[in-house]
Amino acid sequence: MTPSNHHNSRFLQLFPIVGWIKFYTREEFYSDLFAGIITAILLVPQGIAYAILAGLPPQLGLYSSILPPMLYALFGTSRTLSVGPVSIAAIMIASALSAPEISILGNPVQSALILSAESGIVMLLMALLRMGGLVNFISHPVLTGFTSGAALLIIASQLPQLFGLKTPSCGFDAACYSHYFSGLVPATLSIGLSSLGVLVFFSGPLIHTLKKIGLQPSLITAISKCAPLLTIILATLAVDYYDLAGQQHVAIVGQVPPGFPLLNMDFIAVEKWQLLLPYSGFIALIAYVESVAIAKVTANLRGEKIAPNQELVALGAANLAAAVSGGMPVAGGFSRTMVNFAAGARTQMAMLIAAGLLALAVIFFSPWFENIPKAALAAIILIAIIPLVKLNNIPITWRYDRGDGIAEISTLLGVLVYGIEEGITLGIILTLISHLRKTSQPHIAVVGRIPGTEHYRNIKRHSVETWPNLLLLRVDESITFANINYIEEFIEAELRQQPDITHIVLIFTSISDIDTTALEVLENLNHSLQAAKMTLHISEAKGPVLDKLEKTNFISQLKPGKVFFHTEDAVRELSENSSLT
């Protein structure tokens, strides 16, 4: 029994993994193994750090790095995207958990699971409604402004951790700041700065030296990407050795329960769902948009294709998996994906290997995570997040397109001043307004006949025949609520300029739809024209448009106005003495 080709391709669409696993080679496996190990080494500190950034126990970040990437591997169309906890989602989770109406309910772990489940469901619903095209809802400048703003918020949240300050935030209260700095813990500060030092050394000078001595590039990648793990190990050893946690009040991660949580249904029986829904909606939207953007970058480099709607399925499944396996919401991470790609990952096998290694780490190494100092994690987050702050992008955007520049700056400021969700909302609204503005003025051509032919062309571009009593108008877009007012005004302006017009023919060649609002306005226009002794006609309407109009009484209202099949027929019947322009 061979499945039909059609069946087969539907199956392949739903499980892109089948597309590569059948032809998987040993060579690819070695590449993936290497990349998987490197990515796993990065995932352990990132998982713990992002969970803490979100205001959650560290294990949630680890759990999110196991089952979710496995589901993404099954459903996802990107071969290199590394799905798991990410910084932007983490700060969005923190924002949700600290909202008064949520925090008052307690149990942040439960809230995080609900966020994962809801984000997953929102994505799957969007997939069902085939809303993959909604990546469009957020333009690049808005996304950049949002990411920069969120990254700045993350940096601001990590500085106190890095310096060992006790008060997390002072705002504009000057007196608070003296208290702020008196709370500084010297041991924490030392660990924070040393960690930063190690990370900076590995990312710059060391690579430079290794390149000089002619080491293999993939090995250089591997070495440089071990920096976070090395930082963690060194910092943890220091805490252990000097008992910094006990004697010097250095903040540490604390106990991490060993092994896996039971498949968790903690998120089921709750009334928090409604309160968390708006936050989940935003997390789903941003997680999706950012993931697809990252996936496209690596796919373009290899000439592969990303299917936006299938990405919704894959990310939705990954987030549901996060919920049942006790994890926080996940997305594709920018730095991890680039590392995975640079380390030579060929397929999602690399991420399956990484997930397996994470599972081993959770089973065997959990007790080792207890003494990781938070200052070292803060240093790792800082180094990972700084490249996401793209302020230098703003003047470029501003110079190229003023509207986009305003949107980028407004979104950035919105995030910083009003908060994460408000910032995105502002960005989306600005995107939509700018879109409405741009599309509310469709191209409309007054046309005439090219002499000796039956072709009708724009009178501004061609030398054509026209008739003083006849206005031939071609609207080059579907007529909707957004542009009908402009069209109406255009017609009225033309009629003011040409007082001899008695017949107006709307040429419908480019029109594939007329919505309810537009139809009502056309009906009113027809009435006013009739009152002013002018007649409105239609020509060259497509079948579906005519079918739709025939459901209404618009065509009978037009009378004596007619529906012509060809513009030429209209001209023959309606035109008086012609003139050449």
> How far, in Å, CA of 120 to CA of 314, rounded?
9
Residues with Cβ within 8 Å of residue 485, at least 6 apart in sequence: 440, 521
Least CB distance to its own copies at residue 387 (A): 17
Residues with Cβ within 8 Å of residue 288, at least 6 apart in sequence: 123, 126, 135, 311, 312, 315, 331
Instruction: Give CA angle at 436 (432, 440), nearest 5°.
Output: 175
Q: Which is nearer to its own copies, 153 or 484 (CB)?
A: 484
> At residue 508, what are phi and psi to the nearest 5 degrees?
-100, 20
Residue 560: count other Cβ atoms within 10 Å of its Cβ.
Answer: 9
> How far, in Å, CA of 58 to CA of 43, rounded?
12
Structure tokens that stand for 20 in this block = 């590569």
Least CB distance to its own copies at residue 245 (A): 44
Least CB distance to its own copies at residue 141 (A): 5
Q: Which is nearer to its own copies, 190 or 510 (CB)?
A: 510
Least CB distance to its own copies at residue 133 (A): 6
DSSP letter at 514 equals B
Q: Which is nearer to its own copies, 193 or 521 (CB)?
A: 521
Least CB distance to its own copies at residue 394 (A): 11
Structure tokens that stand for 573 in this block = 């019947």
Least CB distance to its own copies at residue 173 (A): 19
> How far, in Å, CA of 211 to CA of 340, rounded?
20
Quick one: which of 353, 355, 342, 352 has its CA closest to 298?
Answer: 342
Quick one: which of 375, 368, 385, 383 has its CA closest to 44?
Answer: 368
Residues with Cβ within 8 Å of residue 278, at least 6 apart in sequence: 421
| Bridge partner list, 505 | 472, 537
Q: Which is nearer to its own copies, 370 or 401 (CB)?
A: 401
Least CB distance to its own copies at residue 471 (A): 18
Q: Which helix (H) or strand (E) holds 33?
A: helix 26-53
> How far, in Å, CA of 553 to CA of 564, rounded?
17
Q: Which is nearer to its own copies, 552 or 578 (CB)?
A: 552
DSSP letter at 345 equals -
- Reported as half-sphere exposure (CB side, CA atoms, 13 A), residue 399 has a value of 4
Residues that bind its own copies (CB under 8 A): 133, 135-137, 139-141, 296, 300, 303, 305, 308, 397, 399-401, 403-404, 431-432, 435-440, 443, 476-478, 480-483, 485-486, 492, 510, 513, 515-517, 519-520, 524, 527-528, 531-532, 548, 551-552
Q: Which is nearer to its own copies, 110 or 517 (CB)?
A: 517
Q: Which is nearer to its own copies, 370 or 488 (CB)?
A: 488
Residue that has been written with the tokens 């407004």 in this structure: 410
Structure tokens that stand for 411 in this block = 């979104």
Say which amino acid occupies 511: I
Is-cis flag, bond preceding 85, omega within 30? Answer: no
Least CB distance to its own copies at residue 517 (A): 4
Least CB distance to its own copies at residue 216 (A): 24
Q: Which helix (H) or strand (E) holds 211?
A: helix 205-212
Structure tokens that stand for 184 in this block = 């500084």
Q: Where would I find the H helices in 255-401?
A: 272-302, 308-324, 334-342, 349-364, 374-385, 393-400
DSSP per residue, 116-137: HHHHHHHHHHHHHTT-GGGGGG
Contact 301, 111 (CB under 8 A): no
Q: Which is nearer to its own copies, 368 or 481 (CB)?
A: 481
Q: Which is nearer to its own copies, 477 or 569 (CB)?
A: 477
Quick one: which of 112, 121, 120, 71 has its CA closest to 326?
Answer: 112
Least CB distance to its own copies at residue 290 (A): 15
Least CB distance to its own copies at residue 322 (A): 28
Least CB distance to its own copies at residue 195 (A): 35
Quick one: which of 81, 16, 146 has its CA closest to 413?
Answer: 146
Least CB distance to its own copies at residue 280 (A): 17
Q: Which is nearer to its own copies, 156 or 301 (CB)?
A: 301
Q: Which is nearer to its own copies, 134 or 206 (CB)?
A: 134
